[in-house]
Chain A
Amino acid sequence: MSKMSDDKPKFLIKSGKRLDGRKPDEVRPMEMTVGVIPNADGSAMVVCGKTKVIAAVYGPRELHPRHQVLNHKARVRVKYNMLSFSVEDRKRPGPGRREVEISKVLSEALERVVLTDRFPMCAIDVFVTVIQADASTRVAGLNAASMALADAGVPMRDLVVSLSFGKSYDEKGAGHMVVDLEKEEDNWGMGDVAYAVAPALNEILLLQMDGDLTPEEFAKGRQMADEAAKAIYDMQKQALKAPYQEGSK
């Protein structure tokens, strides 16, 4: 494993080719599996390049502590957690500012699609665990969480498809929009956005930006992300149906 380097790369994209050889609108090779945790009511694993995330869903179940109970709907509680060995330098375990924030935004994104009014006074617990991090973990986690919820049979309006996009610089320092950032692009890029949509309903569920993008750049990036989202959506559908397809038990 390479040591954490402080030297900034000369370029992140050169003549339409990124550091790992991808085209600007290309996502990393992805792998999606459901049912990876037998003890959970629903679970999924998403591997996106070197990023590897698992999500487990428990519930709907009784909500404790009782004072948090909502009388008209269920609470979707998300716990995002990065394992200590998921990054190069050991990550101090436990939730920090960043983990609490990500848990909150993921829970709000999922709450928009889950039919929470079907389970008053209940909790739907989602545990998102990053096993290996190489940027875009929150969007990979959200993809996994939406699949785990569907796998658990939780009624929801739509799946959640999410990915990141951002701005990389070339050897002359000019910006280029790219989708699905990997670590170098996330660390050194000129701006990055975490983006999630409900594809069938055409609603935005998550939108967080770090760095600077002009409105034009943002629009371009979003357009590229929407295009890439279609492939991710198809992959999610396929992964969810795979255990029930003919030939598999």
Chain B
Amino acid sequence: MDFNDTPEEAEFRAEARAFLEQHLDKKEPGRPSRDESYMKRAKEWQNIKAENRFAQITWPEAMGGRGGTPMQQVIWNQEEAQFDAPTAPFAIGLGMCVPTVIAFGADEHKERYVKKALHGEEIWCQLFSEPSAGSDVAGLKTKAVRDGDDWVVNGQKVWTTGAQFSDYGILLTRTDPDVPKHKGLTMFIVDMKDPGVEVRPIHQASGGREFNEVYFTDVRIPDSDRLGEPGQGWKVAIVTLMNERLAVGGSPGPDWQEIMDYARDAGTLSDAAFRAKLADWYVAAQGYKLTKFRTQTALSRGETPGPENSIGKIITANHLQDICNSAVEMQDHYGIINDPGKAPADAIFQESLMWAPGLRIAGGTDEILKNIIAERVLGLPQDVRVDKDKAFSEL
């Protein structure tokens, strides 16, 4: 038992690190910069990665990947995270959308889209969630109706990351309302620059506007841009969701070390109740980190990882909310101030406190994730689904 790379892994890590050092600066402590140049820098960096086969390491070489192992992708992600690497705009497209195009698209699609996406020329978004279809996404209403060689799309999507700067999206629609909900869905590639596509930012509870609503009004999509057969959209969507990147990112915000540092500065580190909570946070953070190490061990040994990684977001989202809550309360009345110039730790606790509720919902709510563990890991019965065998139009 150790935390070391195998000789092959160490060799790849050294190669990756040398490449990163050649092109990027080391990450500075504090907040990453997201200024106006961010998108330009992101596209340039994506292109450099693709040219050198460090983009999508597990993709086959014929698709522009490296033909590498999942462990190499993990190592790359770990190393890249040490640097000021602008990667955010491509995470969903290359992690979820384009793999779906590769799996279900025609040769012409692969020819047209994969290389440009890989080289950062085009950005993709994923259009699944709707106002009335979140956890139960198969209950979506956006409809696509066949008209000659085209499909005509009307409806609304929501919580779409990156829609405002995306060139294309994969769009899940209802094409047959007269069959049960999972059976009447069809997936398409949609051009986000189509005049019938309107992107509106969502003003989030946290105050930011990172996500979007997307409205579709009589958008015509050629049948040739369908992914999978009509009615097979749910199967396609499952593949998209299975392609989510290996979760190797760190904590999504301040963790035990940050609040411990703050408590020391504030003179409250000796408080017994605080110390007991700090111990709990350390144990949870270690539990999360070390569980990822177990998953990586399986990858490194060429085995299929067990289901243990499914605990990740349940732990981290609540953990973040709890730490930020304690940090704000430690500051007493002053804790309400979120001006980075005045609040301790650049107001990171206040900012993350307001972000945490969203983290507990995005990408599967706590409750849905617990259902998934209960059903898929523990094999417990599915929830009662009264709509399972009814036509969608009769619900």
A, B: real partners: no
